[in-house]
Structure 1
Amino acid sequence: MLFKKSLLILCCAFSSTAFAERWFEVEVLIFKQRPAPYLQEDFSLKKEPIKASNKVDLLTPLYTQQAKQDCIAGDSRFNSTSLTDTVIGASRSSLCDDTIDYIASYDSLPLSPEAEARDDMVSTYLLNPEQLQFKSQQRELVRKGLKPLLHTGWRFEGASKSRSQSIKLFGGQHLSTPPIANSNLNNNASFISLVNPVQTLEPVTQQTQDKWELDGFFNIYLRHYLFINTNLDISEKLDNGEIQSARFSQFKRVISGEVHYFDHPKMGMIVQIRKFKH
C-alpha cells in the first residue's frame, strides 16, 4: 500500500514538472489591409478601451533601449540638445538620458524589436529577429503592396487561462491629433476683459488623441489544446484629422506547428505556435 502511494506521488510530481516545462514560441506577423472602396462596415463608433489581465509589455523596454542607442549615435529624432548643452559641449551619452520619452519620439516604430538571442526557459522573452521564420511571408506582403505593422515573436511557458499572460502589442505609425482651442472661451475672455481688465483666462484646449496604428493584447493559453485570444485596435487618421479605430477581436483553437491566418477588413495576421524543447 505504501509503495502504491509513493508511486502515485511520484507520478503526480513528474506530471506537474512535465507540464511546467511545456514551453512554446509564437511568431506573429501583422499587416495593414488595402483600403476597401465598397466596405459596408461602420468603424466610426467609439469603443471601450481594451481590457486584459496579467499584462506583460515586452516591446517598450526594447524599443526604448534601441532608441537610446540611436540617440547616442546622433539620430535627430531623439535629440534632447538644448542651447545650454551646445555651449558647454555636453557629450551625446549624457544628453541621451532616461528623461527622454523615447517611445513617443518615434514617428514610426521599427518592424521588429532588436532582442538579444536567448535559449532559456526562465521567463517570457522576445525572439531575436534572426530567430523569426516568416521572412518570405513578409517579403510577399511587401511585394503585394501591403504594409507590415509588426513582426515579432516570444517564448513562453504554457499556462492555463487564469495564469496566462496578455502580451501588449503595438506598432506602425505614431498617430496624434493637434490640440483644439475652445473658441467659445476665447470669445468670453474678450467680453470679460472689458468688464474686468485685470482678469485673464488661459485658453482651454481639448485633449489630444495619441496612439499607434496597432495597439492591443495577444493572449495564448493551454487547456488540452492551445487557444489564441487577441484584441487589437487598428487605427488611421482621417482627412479631417480625427483618428478612427477598428476593433480586431479573434478567438481560435490552434495546433502547434500549423500556420494560422486571421483576417479582418482592416488588417491581417499570420501566426504560428511552435513547441520549444519538448
Structure 2
Amino acid sequence: MKARLLLGGYLLFSAFVVQASERWFEIEMIIFERAPDSQLQEQFPEQVTPIRLGRNIDLVTPKFAPSIAALLPSLTLCYDNAALNQSIANASQAWQAGFKLFCHQETQPLAWQRKSIFPEFLLNTIVPLPNRIAPQLSGSGMFKGVPYLAESTAFGLTEVAERLRRQRQHQVLLHTVWRQAPVTERRAIPSRWFAGENFTERFDYWGQPNEQSSPTTNPINNSATALTEINSVDVLEQIASRRAQLAAGVTLDQPTTAANETNANQNQVNLPNDVWQLDGLFKLHLDHYLFVNTDFNLRRLVGESLHSINVKQSRRVISGEIHYLDHPHLGIILQIRRFTPPAPEVVENSLATLAPSPIQ
C-alpha cells in the first residue's frame, strides 16, 4: 500500500515539475459592444455565420452550471408512493417548495419501459444556465495544471473596464482573467466564452423566433377538429396508389422534405445549445511568438428580430503589452502576462511523510 502511495506521489511530483517548466501566461480579456449610431443605416448579414465548437475548453459553464451527477443518486424520489403524495398535496406551498429541493422530480420510466429488472432512474444532471451573465468572470485561482480561471485579485485592467462602462456608446459584455500554457498552433485547443443576455427562450441559433404553442381552451374540440382535418385527406387512396406503383416496379421518389431534414440536422452539428448575446472561441498558441485567433458572434436585438454579427480576427501579440482588436461593432482589449506556477513544495513535503524511515 505504501509503495503505491509513493509511486503515485512521485508521478504527481514529476507532473508538477513538467508543468512548472512550461511557459504559463495569464490572459486578461475585455470584450465590449459598440452601440449603433442612430444616424447610420446599419446593414446586417441575412444569414448567421455558425461557429462550430468541436473540441474546446469551456471555463464558463462549470462556473454557472456545475455538474450535479454525484449529488442526485443520494436523493430520494419525491412521489414514490400514494401516501407520501397525499401528504405533500395537503401541505402548505412553502413546505412543498422546501421538500422538493431534496428529492428527484423527474418523470421515471414505467414498468413496461424499463430495460432492466432493477430500478432505473432518469436523472437530469444539467443545471440550466442563467438568463444573463454578469461581465466580470473570475474563479478560485487554484492552480490545476490545466487552463483555469484566475482569482478576482488578478484583474489588472479594472480601470479600463470602468471607463468603458461609463461611456454610453459602449457595453462591456465580458471581463475575465484565466491562465494557461500555450502550445503550438497544431496542438492548441480554443477556449469558449459566452456572456450577456441569453436569447434561447425567444430565438433559435439561426435567429428565428421560437414557435410558441397557442393555449388550448377546449382540448376535446381541438382534437375533434384535428381528426376531421386528417379524415378530409384520402389517406387510404394514397396508400393504394403507392402499393400499385411498387407492384409495377416503379421507383418511388423520396419527398423533398427528407433532404431538407437531413441538411437541417447536419447544420446543427457542434453548435451551442444556447443563444447568447456574445458567444465564440479564443485560441492562443505559441510559435516563437504569441498569436491570438478570435471568432465571436455578437447578437443584437433589433425590434422583434435577432441579428448576428461575426467578428473574426488574428493578431500576433507581445506579452506584457495591451493590445486592442478593433471592429465597428465589437472591441477586444487583451493583455497577456507571464505567470509563474506555484512551486511544488507541498508535494515534496507529502512525499517526505510517505517515505519509509531508513533501516538502522
Q: TM-score, normalised by structure 2?
A: 0.55
RMSD: 3.7
Distance 1:35 1:229 in 2: 25
The answer to whether the 8 Å contact 1:112/1:152 transfers is yes
1:162 corresponds to: 186
CA pair 130-102 structure 1, distance change in 2 beyond 3 A: farther
Deviation at residue 89 of structure 1 after TM alignment: 4.1
User: What's the secondary structure of 2:164's corresponding residue?
Assistant: helix
2:220 corresponds to: none
Verify: 1:136 aligned to 2:185, yes or no. Answer: no
Code of the aligned partner of 1:27: E
Residue among 226, 229, 238 paired with 1:192: 229
2:135 corresponds to: 111
1:261 corresponds to: 324
User: Counterparts of 1:16-27 in structure 2 under 5 Å?
Assistant: 21-27=22-28
User: Counterparts of 1:2-151 in structure 2 under 5 Å?
Assistant: 21-39=22-40, 42-51=43-52, 54-65=55-66, 86-87=95-96, 89-90=98-99, 92=101, 99=124, 101-104=126-129, 106-118=130-142, 120=143, 122-145=145-168, 146-151=170-175
2:297 corresponds to: 233
Verify: 1:216 aligned to 2:239, yes or no. Answer: no
The answer to whether the 8 Å contact 2:35/2:329 transfers is yes
Code of the aligned partner of 1:239: G
Distance 2:311 2:212 in 1: 33
What CA deviation, in whole Å up to 9, does each residue of 1:195-240 have, x standing for no partner?
38xxxxxxxxxxxx95111000000111111000000000012212
CA pair 257-127 structure 1, distance change in 2 beyond 3 A: same
User: What's the secondary structure of 1:213's corresponding residue?
Assistant: strand
Code of the aligned partner of 2:283: N
Deviation at residue 99 of structure 1 after TM alignment: 3.7
Distance 2:97 2:136 in 1: 37
Deviation at residue 180 of structure 1 after TM alignment: 2.7
CA pair 135-236 structure 1, distance change in 2 beyond 3 A: same
CA pair 95-27 structure 1, distance change in 2 beyond 3 A: farther
The answer to whether the 8 Å contact 1:228/1:253 transfers is yes
User: What's the secondary structure of 1:256's corresponding residue?
Assistant: coil
The answer to whether the 8 Å contact 2:164/2:171 transfers is yes
User: What's the secondary structure of 1:260's corresponding residue?
Assistant: strand
Distance 1:101 1:58 in 2: 16
The answer to whether the 8 Å contact 1:171/1:214 transfers is yes
What CA deviation, in whole Å up to 9, does each residue of 1:90-110 have, x standing for no partner?
175668998475443x12112
Code of the aligned partner of 1:215: D
Code of the aligned partner of 1:213: Q
What CA deviation, in whole Å up to 9, does each residue of 1:138-189 have, x standing for no partner?
1101111221111112111120001112000100011133533699xxxx95
The answer to whether the 8 Å contact 2:139/2:152 transfers is yes
User: What's the secondary structure of 2:65's corresponding residue?
Assistant: helix
What CA deviation, in whole Å up to 9, does each residue of 1:54-81 have, x standing for no partner?
4111110012249xxxxxxxxxxxxxxx
Distance 2:183 2:303 in 1: 44
Ranked by relative contact order (alpha carbons within 8 Å, sequence separation 6 or more), the top structure is 2
The answer to whether the 8 Å contact 1:23/1:121 transfers is no
More strand as a share of residues = 1
The answer to whether the 8 Å contact 1:53/1:166 transfers is no
1:7 corresponds to: none
Distance 1:95 1:266 in 2: 45
Unaligned runs of 5+ in 1: 1-16, 67-82, 197-208
Instruction: Give me the identity figure in percent.
Output: 30
User: What's the secondary structure of 2:161's corresponding residue?
Assistant: helix
User: What's the secondary structure of 1:90's corresponding residue?
Assistant: helix
CA pair 99-128 structure 1, distance change in 2 beyond 3 A: farther
CA pair 114-23 structure 1, distance change in 2 beyond 3 A: closer
User: What's the secondary structure of 1:123's corresponding residue?
Assistant: coil
Unaligned runs of 5+ in 2: 1-17, 68-87, 107-122, 204-208, 215-224, 234-272, 342-360
Code of the aligned partner of 1:42: Q
Give the greater-gyration-radius structure (CA).
2
Deviation at residue 43 of structure 1 after TM alignment: 2.1
Count, aligned residues: 231
Distance 2:210 2:182 in 1: 45
